[in-house]
Structure 1
Amino acid sequence: MNALLVRLLASRIAIAILTLLFVSVAVFLGTEMLPGDVAQAVYGQNATPDAVEGLRRALHLDQPAYLRYLLWLGRLLTGDPGNSLVSNLPIAELVATRLPNSLMLAFVTIVVCVPMALILGISSAIWQGSLYDRVVSLTTMSLVSVPEFVIATLTVIMFAVNLRWFPALSYSAGLLSLNQVVQLLALPVFTLSCVLIAQIMRMTRAAVIDSLRSSYVETAVLKGARPMRIVLNHAVPNAIGPIANAVALSLSHLLGGAIIVETIFNFPGLGRLLVDAVTTRDMPLIQACVMIFCAAYLFLVTLADIAGILSNPRLRH
């Protein structure tokens, strides 16, 4: 790895860190500008002035905003974002109980949708212009244009209410068997996969078609190489960079969709925790959850950027 490439990758990582720092300022100021008094909202209308004033001092609300931001950022960097205002439990503990559920939902969705999207995208590029290509393209374009909450609602009506194949809610407090886990995850994973498969398939198809039109593929055709060999040995390997970029960017969309899906299906994940925190006006919990989602999004976008640089020599200069 040459020095120019190292500097280029280091600059991308530095930009991501600076962007995350800017996001932290925006998140803190955004929650600070919300109307109302946090201390009064926590205690309710019947709280005494002394109790409200004591909570304000405990939350450092009597100090300037820049000092509160520095205190909050310092605790965040040390892994201690504070306690929840509603449950008085450590936020790190609340996140630790919900984050594995969200990661499991994301992992299952990736395992299901990425291989299927790659197969559909590559096969549509091979048979470009055929009836199969038109049907797949029309279906995926239709799915991309439909929001997740509409797909989730239609899924519940069809598979949970009418057919009764799966439960409408994805929550259970006890130990579950493999069959029960599949039943609980089926509808959320299906809802998330619909949009992800459509996005990854469209970008994969475009990358493979662009690779099939290149000069080295034309040379392989003139040499008499078999069509399958041309696709697998020449077109797909040279399209891996754009495909990896497309997959990483599409997975970043999974974060926003997970919040909607977890709320609709009552899935006990990080997205549902964020929605509950907004409902109860739990500011420290809101800030911590938003920062986790922003950090994950920046990580995926930076990963896509680095994959594009490593796969395309022209971008290194």
Structure 2
Amino acid sequence: MASISKIIGQRVALGGVTLWIVSLVVFAGVQFLPGDIATEMLGRAATPETVAAFRKSLGLDLPLYLRYLHWLGDVLRGDLGTALASGRDIGELIRPRLFNTLFLALTAATLAVPLALLAGLLAALHRNTFFDRMINVLTLTSISFPEFFIAYILIIVLAANAGIFPSLSDVDSAAGLAGRLNAVALPALTLTLAVLAHMTRMTRTSIINLLANQYIETARLKGLSEWRVLVRHALPNAWAPIVNVIVLNLAYLITGVVVVEVVFVYPGLGQLIVDSVQKRDIPVVQACSLIFAATYILLNLTADVLSVISNPRLMHPK
């Protein structure tokens, strides 16, 4: 237990340092976006005096390092600032969008994880057969296509031609569970196809690597069925790499939804950050980028810790 606590403490400290470095990159990157926020907000007809006064009111006349320290201090106090385009509190603006993004990612994960585990187990059970080759072809095909291409194909087939699902995923806070599931069906299916291949191939590879071990041969000699050997004996010992790739793909589901949300006009955090970049709403862009970075770092930390817990040998590296 002490070793696990030490490892978790080290990972958390490393994650904190990484997040601080990311905050520097996010702040610096946003500052170098083309265009001037004051001119964008006031219009090109604004006088230089008006633009200078507006920049001063936003603190843009301060040195870059002072603006960063002020912003970082506010973030540490839980104050993400005020949106320039709407004048709303950024925390209130982001909260429903973040919920929508998490709901979409959870729906996609609920579809992708069981399908990947089942497909990987079946491919390992029937390895080097026609079924195994078909699984490999399908996974390689899905991983080769970018998300926007998969999204447009699904829109043409399931929305425009079949009319099963809506092509635009418009939801609001009053929508019930059934309405939300119907709205996110195509985006969730797009994300599922995008991450399914990684998890399926990792499950298959991890299982096959264990099938030559002696305890697997012993289980077979006892007369156990091949399916029971895989599920009861091989799968528990293959959890470390499988859990790692599953959590990393969950991180992608949350932080990699920008393209999918834009294609389906889904009111999530990805759509918000794209709209804010277009409006030069710097505080919103910084807040969204930091949330994405924190989520990715947290899930990477979770994957690292789960890998160590599922494989105790990693707690005692040579």
Question: For this structure pair, what is the TM-score category when the shorter chain's length is used for normalisation?
Answer: over 0.9
User: 2:54 is matched by which residue type in structure 1?
Assistant: L
Taking the aligned partners of 1:312 and 1:181, their CA distance within structure 2 comes to 38
Per the alignment, residue 35 of structure 1 pairs with 34
Per the alignment, residue 241 of structure 1 pairs with 240
CA displacement 1:129-181 (0-9 Å, x = unmatched): 11111111110111011100000011111111122222110114584455433
Per the alignment, residue 134 of structure 2 pairs with 135
Taking the aligned partners of 2:312 and 2:175, their CA distance within structure 1 comes to 49
Per the alignment, residue 259 of structure 1 pairs with 258
Per the alignment, residue 221 of structure 1 pairs with 220
Mapping 1:137-216, distance limit 5 Å: 137-173=136-172, 175-176=174-175, 178-216=177-215
Taking the aligned partners of 1:223 and 1:106, their CA distance within structure 2 comes to 42
User: 2:285 is matched by which residue type in structure 1?
Assistant: I
Aligned partner of residue 285 in structure 2, secondary structure: helix
Mapping 1:5-16, distance limit 5 Å: 5-16=4-15
Taking the aligned partners of 1:165 and 1:109, their CA distance within structure 2 comes to 18
Per the alignment, residue 80 of structure 2 pairs with 81
User: 1:204 is matched by which residue type in structure 2?
Assistant: T
* Residues 11/172 of structure 1: CA separation in 2 closer, same or farther (3 Å cut): closer
Tell me, yes or no, if the aligned pair for 1:125 and 1:209 is still in contact at 8 Å: yes
1:296 aligns with 2:295: yes
Please state how far the C-alpha of 1:80 moved relative to its aligned partner: 0.9
What is the TM-score normalised by the length of structure 2? 0.94
Taking the aligned partners of 1:303 and 1:234, their CA distance within structure 2 comes to 25
* Residues 137/44 of structure 1: CA separation in 2 closer, same or farther (3 Å cut): same
Taking the aligned partners of 1:174 and 1:12, their CA distance within structure 2 comes to 36
Aligned partner of residue 156 in structure 1, secondary structure: helix
Aligned partner of residue 257 in structure 2, secondary structure: helix
Please state how far the C-alpha of 1:45 moved relative to its aligned partner: 0.4
Per the alignment, residue 69 of structure 1 pairs with 68
CA displacement 1:259-301 (0-9 Å, x = unmatched): 1111111111111101100111111100000011111111111
CA displacement 1:67-97 (0-9 Å, x = unmatched): 1101001111111111111111111110012
Tell me, yes or no, if the aligned pair for 2:22 and 2:293 is still in contact at 8 Å: yes
Taking the aligned partners of 1:166 and 1:5, their CA distance within structure 2 comes to 46
Gaps of 5+ in 2: none
Tell me, yes or no, if the aligned pair for 1:148 and 1:257 is still in contact at 8 Å: no
* Length, aligned pairs only: 316
User: 2:134 is matched by which residue type in structure 1?
Assistant: V
User: 1:92 is matched by which residue type in structure 2?
Assistant: G
Per the alignment, residue 101 of structure 1 pairs with 100
Tell me, yes or no, if the aligned pair for 1:81 and 1:288 is still in contact at 8 Å: yes
Please state how far the C-alpha of 1:65 moved relative to its aligned partner: 0.9
Mapping 1:264-303, distance limit 5 Å: 264-303=263-302
User: 2:208 is matched by which residue type in structure 1?
Assistant: I
Aligned partner of residue 294 in structure 1, secondary structure: helix
Please state how far the C-alpha of 1:256 moved relative to its aligned partner: 4.3
Please state how far the C-alpha of 1:208 moved relative to its aligned partner: 1.3
Tell me, yes or no, if the aligned pair for 2:81 and 2:283 is still in contact at 8 Å: yes
Per the alignment, residue 51 of structure 2 pairs with 52
User: 1:154 is matched by which residue type in structure 2?
Assistant: I
Taking the aligned partners of 2:173 and 2:301, their CA distance within structure 1 comes to 38
What is the TM-score normalised by the length of structure 1? 0.95
* Residues 43/288 of structure 1: CA separation in 2 closer, same or farther (3 Å cut): same
Please state how far the C-alpha of 1:51 moved relative to its aligned partner: 2.4
* Residues 307/194 of structure 1: CA separation in 2 closer, same or farther (3 Å cut): same
1:114 aligns with 2:113: yes
Gaps of 5+ in 1: none
